[in-house]
């Protein structure tokens, strides 16, 4: 038997409920758990196509975690790699907020991680001990600003990669210019 690794799903948002989205991928309906900060965006995408980066927890039944941001899925997988952390705990931790979790892990603030539902003091301390200094990606405040301005998260991440240096204000201006050029090309 060969194990299939699912890395991303492109499909139409069929339904958004509680903490998940039902995604129609060529007639197959996938139940994808999504962090709360991305659910509102997905509600606006009803019956539209989206791309979600994914991680599958191979348990019974299998569960799929998805996000607009590849970095969020990578963090989810790093959380799962720590002994004693399962799908529920990793998902609960990420629902604290992607940037909140990253900062807490980097600063060694286990008490922030322990606020996640179902995560105790010991588990939070182990997570911080194992992951502190080992997270090689940072939250780009440019992405947060663009998403706050109504740009889709995946589009914001793509354009942010093309913007170089400068103050935040300069980078926002450059990103908006690039987005305008991209949209002009699509017309």
The per-residue pLDDT for range 66-105, each reduced to its tens digit, is 998 888 898 999 999 998 899 999 999 999 988 889 889 9
CA dihedral 169, 173, 179, 185 (to 10 degrees): -170
Long-range (24+ apart) CB contacts under 8 A made by 126-132 are 126/82, 126/83, 126/84, 127/79, 127/82, 127/85, 127/93, 128/104, 130/82, 131/78, 131/79, 131/82, 131/105, 132/105, 132/106, 132/108
Is there a single domain that holds both residue 44 and residue 77? no
CATH number at residue 26: 2.40.50.140
Task: Flag whether 136 is in a domain.
Answer: no
Do residues 112 and 98 touch, judged by C-beta distance below 8 A?
Answer: no
How many angstroms separate the CA atoms of 11 and 9, rounded?
6
CATH number at residue 103: 1.10.150.20
How many angstroms separate the CA atoms of 146 and 46, rounded?
21
How many angstroms separate the CA atoms of 13 and 24, rounded?
6
Phi and psi at residue 48, to the nearest 5°? -120, 155
Of 67, 82, 110, the one marking the end of a domain is: 67
Of 90, 106, 131, the one marking the end of a domain is: 131
- Containing domain of residue 92, as a range? 71-131
Is there a single domain that holds both residue 16 and residue 58? yes
Encode the chain (187 residues) as per-residue pLDDT tens digits.
344 467 889 999 999 988 999 999 999 999 999 998 888 888 988 999 988 889 888 777 889 999 988 888 989 999 999 988 999 999 999 999 888 898 899 889 999 999 999 999 999 999 999 998 888 665 467 777 887 788 877 677 778 878 877 777 888 899 999 999 887 776 5
């Amino acid at each position: 038997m060969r194990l299939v690794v699912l890395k991303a799903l492109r499909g139409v948002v069929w339904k958004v409920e509680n903490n998940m989205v039902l995604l129609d991928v060529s007639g197959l309906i996938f139940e994808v758990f999504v962090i709360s900060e991305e659910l509102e965006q997905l509600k606006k995408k009803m019956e539209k196509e989206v791309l979600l980066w994914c991680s599958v927890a191979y348990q019974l039944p299998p569960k799929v975690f998805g996000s607009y941001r590849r970095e969020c899925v990578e963090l989810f997988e790093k959380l799962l790699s720590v002994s004693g952390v399962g799908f529920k705990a990793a998902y609960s931790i990420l629902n604290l907020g992607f940037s909140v979790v990253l900062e807490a892990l980097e600063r060694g603030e286990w008490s922030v991680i322990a606020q996640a539902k179902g995560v105790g003091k010991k588990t939070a301390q182990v997570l911080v001990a194992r992951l502190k200094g080992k997270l090689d990606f940072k939250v780009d405040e440019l992405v947060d600003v663009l998403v706050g301005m109504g740009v889709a998260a995946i589009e914001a991440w793509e354009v942010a990669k093309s913007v170089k240096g400068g103050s935040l204000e300069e980078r926002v201006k450059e990103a908006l210019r690039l987005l305008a050029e991209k949209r002009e090309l699509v017309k």
